[in-house]
Every structure is written in C-alpha cells, then in structure tokens.
Amino acid sequence: MKRMSIHKRISITKRGFSIIKQYCPGLAQGKAVYELINSIQPFISVWFTAQIINEISSLRRPKKLLIYILFVSLFNFVCAVLKSIINHVCNEKESQMWSWFGKIFSDKQISLDFVDLENAAIQHQRQEAEENLYMFGNGLAQLVWGVPTLVRASVNILASLVMTVSLFVSQSGNKVIDNPLWILIILVCIALGGLSNSKATIKENEVFMKWCQDTVWFNRAFMFFGRELYMSPEKAKDVRIYEQNAIAEKVLDKLIQHDSEKQTAIFKMSIYPAIAYIIIGLANAVCYLFIAAKALFGAFGVGSIVQYVTVLSRLGEGLQDLMYILSDNEVYCTHLQKLFEYLDIPNHMYLGSLTVEKRDDNEYYVEFKNVSFKYPNTETYVLKHVNLKFKVGETLAVVGMNGSGKTTFIKLMCRLYDPTEGEILLNGVNIQKYNYNEYMSIFSVVFQDFRLFSFSLGQNISTSAAYDYEKVRECLKKAGFDECLDSMANGLETFLYKDFDADGVEISGGEAQKLALARALYKDTPFIILDEPTAALDPLSEYTVYSKLNEIAGDKTAIYISHRLASCRFCEQIAVFHAGEIVQKGTHEELLADSKGKYYELWNAQAQYYK
C-alpha cells in the first residue's frame, strides 16, 4: 500500500480540524484544555509531594510543610472543578457529534447538482464515505479523540524533560553513576520504548487496514440486512409477505463468520504490542536502577526518587503516545481523504445571476427551442427537437403514452437538468442565465413521486414553520381536502405520519395527492405544474379536481401531464408527446379532427374504457 506523504497528511489533518470547528465548535478545544489540565496536574502534584517528603526527611519545618500541603490541596481542588465543568460540556458536545457529522452529508447532498443525485458513481462515493463515518468515525471522530492524546504527549514530554534536568545535573560522588553517558543511555532506553510501541501500532494498523478494505462490502451488507431491511416501515409489508428476513439471516451468518475470521486475525496481531511491552518494561527497569543508584550514593533525597521515577515513566508514555498518534494519523487520513473526495465533487451546472423580473402584468412566457435531451451516461435521446411556446395564464396539457418524455420535459423546464441540445427561454432569455433559486421560485410542481414530510399538516402545505392559517385552509379546500381536515381533531396542527407524534395520521395515496396539490397552490407561483395529478384519486375526486382546474389555476400557467386524455381536453393547448417528440399541438377539437394523428388514436383507444 502506498504511504501518504507527510505534507498531504498535514493538509488533510488541518482541513479535518476546520470541519470539526465548523460543525462541532468548541469540542476539540474543550478536549484539549481538559487534557492540558489533566496532564499538568500530576507533575505539579508530584513536585509538591517530593518537596513534602524531602522536608519531612530533612529539615522538618512545620510552616513550610503547611504551605506545601495547602498549595497542593488548593491546586488539586481547582483542577478537579475545572475538569468536571469542561468534561460535562465536552460530553454533551460529543454526544451530538455523530448527528453533526451526518449533517456534513446532508449539506453536500443539497448543494450537489440534481443530476449528480442520480449519478450512481457519485452516490456510491457518498455511500462509501458515509459508511466510513459510522464504521470509523470518518477520521473526524478519530481526530477529536486524538486531541487528548496529542496534548498529553506534548505535556508529558516537555514537563518530564524540564523535571529530569536535575536528575542528571545532581552529583552523587560516584564516577560511574555521574558519568554523562547515562544521559544518553536513559534517553535511548526511553526512545526504544516509544519506537517499539509505534512499530506495534503500525503493524496493528496494517492488519486493521487490510480488514477495513475487505469489509467494505460486508459493512454495506450489514447496514442493509442488519438494519435498513427491518427498520423501514415502507419495506415492512414486502419483507413480511415475501419472507425476506430468511435471505437476510443467511447474509448475516456470512457476516458473523467473516467477523470471527477478523477477530482471529486481530487476536494474532496482539503479539506486536506484547513484544513492545517487554521492551518498554526492560527500558523502565534500566531507568529505575539508575535513579535508585543515584539516590543510594546520596545525589538527592528519598522524596526526589518519587519525582524522577514518575517523571521518567511519563516521558516514556509521552513518547509512546506521540508515536502512536503519528502512526494512527496515517490511518484516519485515508478515511478523511475519502470524505474530502466526496465533499470536493464540483458543481458543473452553469449558474447565472440575472434576477427573474417580477412582472405586475404577469406576462411571462416560456419557450423550448429545438430542445433535445439524453440522461447523463445514457445513449438514447428521450427528447428530440422539442419546440413549444406558452405564456402565463394558459393551460397546457402534455399528453402521451408512458415513457414518451412528458416528465423529462418538466424536469428540463424546472432546470433539474440542462438540455443536451437547444435552449429553453424565459421571456426570451436562456434560463441558465437566471439566478437558479429565483428561477426555481416561479414554479410549483407536483411530481408523480412527490413526498410529504413528517411535519404538521399546516407546515407541510406552507413548507415553513410559521404559516398563514387562512391561506392554508383555502388551498386545502381548493385541493378537495376540506372534509378530511374537518375530521381531524388537531386541524392544521395534526402531524402526518408517526415519526414525531404518536397521534400522527397515516394518509391514503389519494389524500396525499390532494395535500401535494394544496402545497403547490400555497407556493402561489406564476407556473403550476401537475404531473399525473389525479393518478391516485378515486374517480369522484378526479372529476372534482378536473372540473375545478381552471379555478385552481386562476391566472397562473397550469401545465398538466397525463396519459388520460379525457382529463386534459379542456386545456387551451395540448401537446402530444410520442417517443420523445411533440408530434401534435392544438386544442382538443383540432387534434381530434385529425383522424390520422396520434391524439385521435390515443383518444379512441382510451374512449372504449370510458363508454
């Protein structure tokens, strides 16, 4: 495996910290301060303890002893209080950390070009980075957890070095013991301990990384078969009826086997830290012997033995921690890199800056000029040389058989995709030149596969937390939902679905369609587009909606997409789509008059069902 350069690791780590700062402000800093206090505290305590023991074993001055005891007690008390406060704040922040890390993905998804949401490669990339989040904290959690280790290591090394100077400077009178070569021997011993620990970590990581790569598929399978399949209420019916849990159990068996192989490998890997501990033990023994020998020959008092033993072992721990964090950093940088590759997916859609003119006369018109389109990564044109012009106030019906390109036509008009060839104009200007959000704000669309959300009814219709009660009621009435609303005890406060409220209501497909229609009406835009708006409605409701279409649309441009011609016959203009082309345009009467036309054929084919 190719190792990452130090330069790259530094830049990835820096970026990781800036993301943590953005999404979990204060968490890394809080952990750093906590650990700073936590690791300085023992050094101060051990220094005071050494002074107290030295005082007791030599001059025994009560006043001095009292001052030492008071200082050390006060210091420990202040540290304990500070640590407790910071710990509570950090724990609270850390408990929310995972949700905030999840938000990183939501923010990126919403900023992606719509076309990338359907790009399998990009969504695969997201999935990989997201799995990475839950399995390995995406590197971000490891960065957070690494902060205390880094602070502890730095404090341990610096403070230990300062506090061991006197160990080497003090003279015992014995030439062998006072030989400056001991400084080198002791430092080599401590460094050996640190190095062996680092080697063990690298070996552990190598095994771990190999399993990480092998586990990508298993992780995904586990997420799906161990969780998603059972958690989602939408899947529950089919899981039960088709006993999908049997398949899931089989996959889970494999996962368990895979996991036990992994455990065996991890168990074998524990040989490396064991060897490291032996080396560290031996290095410590040499240090202990040196300190004991120096004290024996009278270089310092008994109290200082406690100080030097503690401080040297802290120096060893500091070096081990530092080595550990450096090798661990290499592992989480690879996880972070995966996350950043996803976050760095660029936006390709051209975003103009023109404002959409707010016209008092509502004189907007949209024109498709020789528009052809194929979906990204596909070869076939699903729209071919579409030419169509319509203005606000008109009702346009887009009819045609399934798969003839009607919905795609709408998606292009709303700029979810850009045409492969040709252009779409709003008041004579290519729609790409308009500010994207402003352009979107002139459309209300009820897509065939619309979604309502687990909020209150009022919030669903207004799509905001605060809303105009009367306007919501009016829109629900126009959409034919008024009777249903009257039967709801909590009225507009009634929650849809049970995610956030045990009393939330489950609604039928037809009721949902009425709500989606009301939502589109509430947005009150110059264009209202309804894609198969009555597909889920019963015949009576369908009749009601269609007979009120003109009233519903008011002075807006209403575009209806339907494969049911009877529903669209009252529209001022009807465009007949067939295999991606507009094959006919006109009013119902004009189109029906052409007995060789597609409209005539479709009308007669459907008419027999209405007779």
Q: Cβ of residue 464: shortest distance to ligand ADP, in angstroms?
A: 29
**What are 183's two structure tokens?**
């400084």
Do residues 529 and 559 lie in contact, with contact meaning Cβ atoms separated by under 8 Å? yes
- Choice between 447 and 495, CB closer to ligand ADP: 447
Count of alpha carbons within 13 angstroms of residue 276, beta-carbon side:
23
**What are 33's two structure tokens?**
């301060």
By CB under 6 A, residue 134 contacts ligand ADP: no
The Cα 608–Cα 446 span in angstroms is 29
By CB under 6 A, residue 402 contacts ligand ADP: yes
The Cα 130–Cα 107 span in angstroms is 13
By CB under 6 A, residue 381 contacts ligand ADP: no
Angle at 504 between CA 451 and CA 226, to 5 degrees: 70
Contacts of residue 3, defined as CB under 8 A and 6 or more positions apart, other chains included, come to 330
Q: Cβ of residue 114: shortest distance to ligand ADP, in angstroms?
A: 10
- Choice between 414 and 476, CB closer to ligand ADP: 414
By CB under 6 A, residue 117 contacts ligand ADP: no
By CB under 6 A, residue 405 contacts ligand ADP: yes
Selected binder of ligand ADP within 51, 54, 197, 407 (CB under 6 A): 407
Q: Cβ of residue 118: shortest distance to ligand ADP, in angstroms?
A: 5
Q: What would you report as the CA-atom Rg of the chain, rounded to the nearest whole angstrom?
A: 36
By CB under 6 A, residue 497 contacts ligand ADP: no
Cβ-defined contacts of 11-20 (< 8 Å, 24+) = 12/333, 12/336, 12/337, 12/340, 13/143, 13/329, 13/333, 13/336, 15/336, 15/340, 16/139, 16/140, 16/143, 16/332, 16/336, 17/143, 19/104, 19/140, 20/140, 20/143, 20/144
- Choice between 138 and 408, CB closer to ligand ADP: 408
By CB under 6 A, residue 564 contacts ligand ADP: no
- Choice between 473 and 563, CB closer to ligand ADP: 563
By CB under 6 A, residue 382 contacts ligand ADP: yes
Q: Cβ of residue 602: shortest distance to ligand ADP, in angstroms?
A: 12
- Choice between 508 and 606, CB closer to ligand ADP: 606
Per DSSP bridges, beta strands 573-578 and 581-586 are antiparallel
- Choice between 190 and 412, CB closer to ligand ADP: 412
Selected binder of ligand ADP within 106, 378, 437, 608 (CB under 6 A): 378
Q: Please provide the size of the chain in residues.
A: 611
- Choice between 478 and 564, CB closer to ligand ADP: 564
Q: Cβ of residue 385: shortest distance to ligand ADP, in angstroms?
A: 15
H or E element: which one contains 426?
A: strand 421-426
Q: Cβ of residue 374: shortest distance to ligand ADP, in angstroms?
A: 8
- Choice between 316 and 580, CB closer to ligand ADP: 580
Reduced to 3 states, what is the DSSP secondary structure of residue 583? strand
CA 84 from centre of chain: 31
Number of residues in contact with ligand ADP under rule CB under 6 A: 12
- Choice between 301 and 400, CB closer to ligand ADP: 400
Q: Cβ of residue 368: shortest distance to ligand ADP, in angstroms?
A: 14
By CB under 6 A, residue 534 contacts ligand ADP: no
Sign of CA dihedral 293, 297, 299, 300: positive
By CB under 6 A, residue 573 contacts ligand ADP: no
Q: Determine the interface stretch with ligand ADP among 65-73, 172-180, 357-365, 399-407 (rule: CB under 6 A).
A: 399-407
DSSP assignment string, 215-281: HHHHHHHHHIIIIIHHH-HHHHHHHHHTTHHHHHHHHHHHHHHHHHHHHHHHHHHTHHHHHHHHHHH
- Choice between 380 and 487, CB closer to ligand ADP: 380
By CB under 6 A, residue 400 contacts ligand ADP: yes
By CB under 6 A, residue 406 contacts ligand ADP: yes
- Choice between 400 and 597, CB closer to ligand ADP: 400
Q: Determine the interface stretch with ligand ADP among 389-397, 405-413, 470-478, 499-507 (rule: CB under 6 A).
A: 405-413
Q: Cβ of residue 561: shortest distance to ligand ADP, in angstroms?
A: 6
Selected binder of ligand ADP within 25, 233, 281, 403 (CB under 6 A): 403
Do residues 315 and 161 lie in contact, with contact meaning Cβ atoms separated by under 8 Å? yes
Q: Determine the interface stretch with ligand ADP among 60-68, 77-85, 254-262, 397-405 (rule: CB under 6 A).
A: 397-405
Q: Cβ of residue 584: shortest distance to ligand ADP, in angstroms?
A: 15
**Torsion region of 480: left, alpha or beta (phi above 0 gives left; psi -120 to 50 gives alpha):** left
- Choice between 395 and 408, CB closer to ligand ADP: 408
Selected binder of ligand ADP within 164, 215, 404, 456 (CB under 6 A): 404
Do residues 603 and 583 lie in contact, with contact meaning Cβ atoms separated by under 8 Å? no
By CB under 6 A, residue 375 contacts ligand ADP: yes
Contacts of residue 417, defined as CB under 8 A and 6 or more positions apart, other chains included, come to 114, 115, 373, 375, 376, 408, 411
The Cα 215–Cα 380 span in angstroms is 37
What is the crossing angle of helices 6-23 and 140-169, to 10°? 110
- Choice between 46 and 382, CB closer to ligand ADP: 382
The Cα 409–Cα 61 span in angstroms is 94
Residues binding ligand ADP (CB under 6 A)? 118, 375, 378, 382, 400, 402-408
